[in-house]
Amino acid sequence: MIIRECVYEVVETDQGQALIAECVGSQKVVAIYLLDDDLDDQMEELHDAYPTVNFIPGKPTQSSGIVQALNTLDSTIKVNAVHKGDTAFGMQVYSAIQKIPKGETRSYSDIAREIGNPSAVRAVASACARNNLAYIVPCHRVIGSTGNLSGYRWGIAKKRRLLQAEGAELRFSVM
């Protein structure tokens, strides 16, 4: 049963192609995906994440602001959005991540401690893996406690490029 309809478009940014999807009516962004893979794979993931949504090609109303944020490396843009797996814990993680300044990194352990749950390192990593709002929730700024660029939903190479574009010092190897 289809409950709502969302429009999506693939846009060119200084960081490569991005897919932006927004629900009609509520105008809430449900996805900002950084594309390196086949669009069909990303659309399949989008349908799996939102099985009651019909995705149609179109222009999301927040698209130009999101493109500008990606082009200027400004993750502080306010986006009317829906976070996938919108749990209290996930929102705490995303809120902590959004406080990391551009060009800086924090470890998964740092984030777990910041939200008052120091033993939840793996849960923090899982929340990052579920992030459906690339760059706006800057999970690329979260790294392993050893300084390694471990795990990123859109690939380690993309994580490295984003951090370098932001001016982060990368002194460690890729896992």
Structure tokens at 47: 């349908």
Mode of pairing for the β-strands spanning 29-34 and 53-57? unpaired
The Cα 60–Cα 52 span in angstroms is: 19
What is the 8-class DSSP label of residue 81?
B
Q: Is position 139 annotated as part of the catalytic site?
A: yes
Q: Which residues pair with 19 in a beta bridge?
A: 10, 33
Residue 94: which of 141, 61, 147, 34 has the closest Cα? 141
The Cα 32–Cα 117 span in angstroms is: 28
Active-site residue numbers?
139
